[in-house]
Structure 1
Amino acid sequence: MGLPFWPSSSGDDNWPLDYNTYQLQSDTHPGSSELPGKLLKIRPYKENDGIDAGANLLQTLHDVYIEGGENKSDSHAFEIWFDRGKFKFRMYAANPRAESRFKRRVESVYTNSEVATLDNCDALPQMDEGYYISGATLDENRHTFVPIRHHEGDGFPHGDPYSDILGEMATLDDSMVVLQVIFKPARHDWTENGPNGQSVDEVANSLLEGEVESLRNISAWLPWHEIEEYGPSHKDKQAAKLVREQRGKQGFHIDIRVLAASPNRREAIERARGVSRLFTNVYSGEAKQRLVDHPMPTEKPEALGFLKNMVYRRWVDHEMILSLDELAGIAHIPNTHIEVPQIPWKTTQTGEPVASDADKGVHLNSESDNETSSDTPQQTSDVDAQEHNERSDETATTSNDTSGDGDTGMSFGGR
């Protein structure tokens, strides 16, 4: 099965653009059989612990593999799709061991939820000829050791951020939105050797250095005026405290993407921008750290790289490491406090008769006619060099990757 992306730039002089679109010139139905790993679908039970359960789940998935002094761990993904009027929850496991572990852990942590491996399904929601696509990546505006807002730090005064995010993802019934969070476990000593070699203590100390009066002030240039130095503010002290508190916690390398597709160009742009901008707001906390959105590039090679990275679940290094608690706020299964009608909740507890769901026409396998689920147990084994040498997961170093796709069967091109 090929991946015939044939995008063409779609400008509009009457539309103020920081986000733009490409228009597909052929149907785009990438299949999961082409992926090196496996897609899992999750049907959540309404009564669960939400973000707290997400933190517990991530703790059990922090499986670091070091070889030759380098972090050779596989990267996996958590995803939320809004696809033709319905939310779908997905995880991507890069290897068989992770597939088996994800299924066990999700069902254990999110009690009464159901998890199944998807075979011969769509790797992404279908995008038909003529659809407009728009999207973004997200990173941070300060050093990654300065934390974003999370449930164990500043907290979420307005409840689970998904209330707003999923509401913004809900689009037209002929359109779709995908939130993709690629995560790769960081080394256990990540707080002592960050992306630029700094430790949490060094970053915290830099926050406590205070500030010097800005030379933009006219008074600063008067001959009798002495330049004033300001000590650290209360927010700076609080930020330094939060930075140091990350020592000893598990961390993950993160790559966050948003993709929207619609036959309506304005809808694609509004959904991509709306979802991305919500992320920049709801996770901004007292430490002055926030996420920053970068719209999908409009040049064809870069746009193709963006799409390929989403399909292959490639981790792109943005020098962003989030603690377990930070990531849980972004990647978790919602619960009954999320009042979004398009979530296909599982309404029965494990072991109860499922007739009530059947009468309502709700089934784990009913999300798509193009999905086949398999619950065949997967063999598990210790993480060893052979397993990781045989893994097919690719790591991209830039989001502009337009190289050939080898024997994957997926073709990308343009006219």
Structure 2
Amino acid sequence: MGRIASALIRDDIRRSVARKVPALRDGGSDAYDTLQLTDSVIDELEDARAERRAVHVLPHKEGGGIPKAVDLLTSVHPMRTGTSTDSRPAHAFEIRNINEQIGFQWVMGGEKYQSRLSRQLETFYPDSHIEVDELPEPELLPFREDWHLAAARLELKLQGKKERYYPIKHIDVEGFENDPYGSITSEMVGEREAETVTNVATQVIFRPAPSDWYKGGVLEPSIHDVADDLEENVQPADTKDIVREMVSKEGIDLTEARTQKRGKNKKTTAAADAVRRQAGQKGYEVNIRIVAVGQDPEIAISRVDETADMFEGYYDSDTQQGFDCVPMSGEDLLKLVQLAMRREYVDRGMTMGVRTAAGVVHVPNESINTQNVSWTRTSNAGDVPADSPRFSEWLSPAIGWDTPDRSVKRDPDEWIYAIEQSQPTEAAIAAVTEQDQETQPADEQTESSQPNGTEAVY
């Protein structure tokens, strides 16, 4: 029992320290570092780019928003998802600040999903301008020689098998009136009077979770078990409480000693409801990365760190769930950016229901007040109906912009049109003239029949 107890105590200590110092987790550091870009490093990063086309979105101020993203993510989620990674391709949603202009793009896991996304974007964001990139390899940020690279990734504050079900703040939680993208994009831009250029990208990799992601397993509780414990306010006991119980009792039940029931209250009930509502939803496994490239290394680091701080807006006080920032340095820095260029998913234990994931993956609207966002200024509401007749192109292929014999030099009778000539014939003109004369009033006919030399008296 002594060995078991000491192992439990070490596990508690390790978990509590790891939560306070995210750098002790895989692939991170306790401080930022930058990597100066050389030709060889740039080539290495460019070679890592995914061979997929990006879908660019210029949002409209009167459309978009988080609720529409719930429908969008649901529509691109496969109906049946097993545990195989081949049936669950990873997609990327990216917010990019390049030359002080904020833009949004999606990089889907395959051509099938790219086509589906384009159609669904037109359905749920009809006023947005959607364009598929012509380049087969999507760009993340422009890399330039002698510039400096900085990066970080985000993890959940609570990462246990139970705690990963605790949601961040989302649209079902009261108090989520403001879109967090407003503060995030503002920090990505930084100070407008900055003398140096810094480009920043926030990347969210999302992969469909197995359809039974919330059901748990043999060694993992289900989402209903977690909700019940939250409602009863069952919490792990402190290590000192475990030791005290072991000293005072013999034959102690370690499971009982490691938990404490503190009673129900409004806060725990609300947290339990937020957890329980995720049951039955489609889920996504998520990575979040922040990358900056700038002329000044300190400013590049500050852009990453301050952007990561703005993700504090997703902190849910009921479940105490939010994000921790893990800075990158050394080889981990280069590896993280390569993963970002490949749009590759790495399992970090971050799984979200679709209504929670929509908070970090959506097209914004006018609720964010960042002036540097590239908005579309036209709406599709006044488009010509699909069944309206349209004019065809010219039939003559010889006429082009570079053709010396332009239209102003050509006889109009020589033009060939793809539509029938609408000019009336001479017979039609004569018939209309004769009809007008027959219906003309008598006094007008008398006046018009007077000789030119006769002066009318009025």
Normalised to the residue count of structure 2, the TM-score between the two structures is 0.65
Change (3 A) 1:195 1:178: farther
- Residue aligning to 2:339: 309
The alignment's C-alpha RMSD in Å is 3.0
Offset of residue 231 of structure 1: 2.4
How many pairs does the alignment contain? 329
Cα displacement (A) at 1:187: 2.0
Percent identical among aligned pairs is 26
Equivalent position of 1:205 in the other structure: 228
Q: Which has the greater radius of gyration? A: 2
Show the counterpart of 2:36: 23
Name the CA shift for 1:190/1:201 in 2 (closer, same or farther; >3 Å).
same
Question: Aligned to 2:149, which of 110, 133, 142?
Answer: 133
Structure 2 residue aligned with 1:341: 371
Q: Which residue of 1 aligns with 2:70?
A: 55
> Which residue matches 1:147?
167
CA distance in 1, matches of 2:84, 2:69: 30
Q: How does 1:10-409 map to 2 (within 5 A)?
A: 18-26=31-39, 28=42, 35-63=50-78, 66=81, 72-120=87-135, 123-142=139-158, 143-157=163-177, 159-171=178-190, 174-193=197-216, 197-207=220-230, 208-211=232-235, 230-296=262-328, 298-300=329-331, 302-350=332-380, 352=382
Q: Structure 1: which 5+ residue stretches go unaligned?
A: 1-16, 354-415
- Specify which structure has the higher proportion of strand: 1
Name the amino acid aligned to 2:74: Q
Q: Residue 40 of structure 1 aligns to a residue in which SS?
A: strand
CA distances 1:271-325 after superposition (whole Å, capped 9, x unpaired): 11111122134333321111111111x222x222111100000011111111111
The separation in 1 between residues aligned to 2:138 and 2:47, in whole angstroms, is: 6
Greater Cα shift, 175-184 or 199-208: 199-208
Q: Which whole-Å CA distance do the structure 2 matches of 1:68 and 1:49 have between them? A: 32
Following superposition, the deviation at residue 332 of structure 1 comes to 0.8
| Deviation at residue 211 of structure 1 after TM alignment | 4.8
* Structure 2 Cα separation of the partners of residues 67 and 191 of structure 1: 13
* Residue aligned with 2:372, SS: coil
Gaps of 5+ in 2: 1-29, 249-256, 384-458
Q: 1:134 to 1:141 in 2, by over 3 A?
A: same
For 2:156 and 2:219, locate their aligned partners in 1 and report how far apart those are by CA, in whole Å: 14
TM-score w.r.t. the length of structure 1 is 0.72
After superposition, the Cα gap between the structure-2 partners of 1:212 and 1:246, relative to the gap in structure 1 and judged at 3 Å, is closer
Q: 1:128 to 1:265 in 2, by over 3 A?
A: same
**What is the DSSP-based 3-state SS (H/G/I as helix, E as strand, rest coil) of the residue aligned with 2:167?**
coil
Amino acid in structure 2 at the alignment position of 1:77? A
Q: CA deviation at 1:241?
A: 1.9
Give the deviation of 1:106 after TM superposition.
0.8
- Tell me: CA distance 1:178–1:314, structure 2 relative to 1, closer, same or farther (3 Å): same
Range moving further from structure 2, 73-82 or 26-35: 26-35
Conserved? CA contact 1:32–1:39, under 8 Å: no
More helix by share: 2
